[in-house]
Structure 1
Amino acid sequence: MDERSVPDDTYEEAARHFTEKELIDLTMAVGFINVANRLNIAFETPVEDYNVGQVVDKLAQTA
Structure 2
Amino acid sequence: MKTIIKAPPRRNPQDAEATTNRPENAATGKRLPYGLLDCAIFLAFSTSLIFAMCATGRPGA
Q: Please, what TM-score do these two structures have when normalized by structure 1?
A: 0.39
Structure whose alpha-carbon radius of gyration is higher:
2
Q: Select the structure that is richer in helix.
A: 1
Q: Please, what TM-score do these two structures have when normalized by structure 2?
A: 0.40
Q: Taking CA–CA contacts closer than 8 Å with sequence separation of 6 or more, which of the two structures ends up with the larger relative contact order?
A: 1
